[in-house]
Each structure stands twice: as structure tokens, then as C-alpha cells.
Amino acid sequence: MNLPYGEIKGNVLVMKFSTADFSIASVMNAIKVHIDVIENMDVVFLGAQTDIVAGPTPVFQPVPVVVQFEYMAKGSAKDVLEKVYKIVWQGIVASFPDESCWSEAKEAYAAFIAAQADLLRARVEASKE
């Protein structure tokens, strides 16, 4: 099976998303929707992280959201972890907001980024004085 946004290494599934498309909250919500099913497959959710961009950036720069799962049972992990991959994507689709809610969230996030930029500009200006 092709995993365009993830890879299986031994008994570990690593899935990668981008904050350009999904917040870490939406990814975590997608996992939460099906965590009971994933755990019943002897797969443990190991966690999620985002990368921190070093230094200021002039514009919004999407960062990766990386989640990891580990198959804990004996036997071939590949088939089970491929199912987990599909289940997580089903959770993304099932929990993704409708267009109006999504656009409101994006607008609020853009306002947050703009406020951060304003704060950084004010700090730079203050340090010049």
C-alpha cells in the first residue's frame, strides 16, 4: 500500500501532516475519534510533535506535524500499521469541520499570526530606542 504521508519502519508508523493544512489540534482530534480501535489492534499512540522554526520568519511558514504509533504485538506489523494509517485518515475526514467553521478558524489563526508579527515589530522598535 502507498503511504503518501507516512512510512512504516519496522513496527513503527510515522505519519506527517503540515500546519498549512491541519492544526495539531485537528490531527489529535482525528486520532481521538478512533484511539480505542487503534489500541484494540495492539498499537500504541506514541505522541505528536511540531517542529520549531529557528528565528523569525517574514511570513507564515508551515511546519510539519509528526505523529507516531508502535505495533506492540508479535507478528507482521505492516498490515496492522497500514490499517492504522487508514483509520487516522478516516478520523481526519470524520472530524474535519465544514467549510464555514474551517474558514473562521483560518481567519482567527491569521489574526493570531498578524498579532505575533506586530508584537515582534514592537519589540524590535523598542530595542532600537
Q: Which of 84-88, 90-94, 109-113, 117-121 has the lowest mean pLDDT?
A: 109-113
Return d(Cα 26, Cα 56) in angstroms, integer: 25
Provide the CATH topology of domain 6-96.
Answer: Alpha-Beta Plaits (3.30.70)
Mean pLDDT for the chain overall:
89
Map residue 57 onto helix, strand or coil: coil
Cell of 35: 484511539
* Per-residue confidence (pLDDT) for residue 57, from 0 to 100: 65
Measuring CA to CA, how many Å separate 104 from each of 39, 94, 96, 110?
33, 19, 13, 10
pTM above 0.95, yes or no: no
Percent of the chain surpassing pLDDT 70 = 95
* Per-residue confidence (pLDDT) for residue 48, from 0 to 100: 95
Return d(Cα 125, Cα 43) in angstroms, integer: 51
Going from N- to C-terminal start, the domains of the chain cover 6-96, 98-129
Residue 71: what are its φ and ψ, rounded to 5°? -80, 125
Residues 67 and 88 sit within 8 Å (Cβ to Cβ) = yes
Q: Which residue has the higher pLDDT, 57 or 88?
A: 88
Q: Which of 48-52, 56-60, 78-82, 100-104 has the lowest mean pLDDT?
A: 56-60
Q: What is the mean pLDDT of residues 58-68?
A: 83
On the question of pLDDT at 55 being above 80, the answer is no
| Residues forming a β-bridge with 45 | 69
Residues 99 and 78 sit within 8 Å (Cβ to Cβ) = no
Residue 80: what are its φ and ψ, rounded to 5°? -65, -45
* Per-residue confidence (pLDDT) for residue 96, from 0 to 100: 82
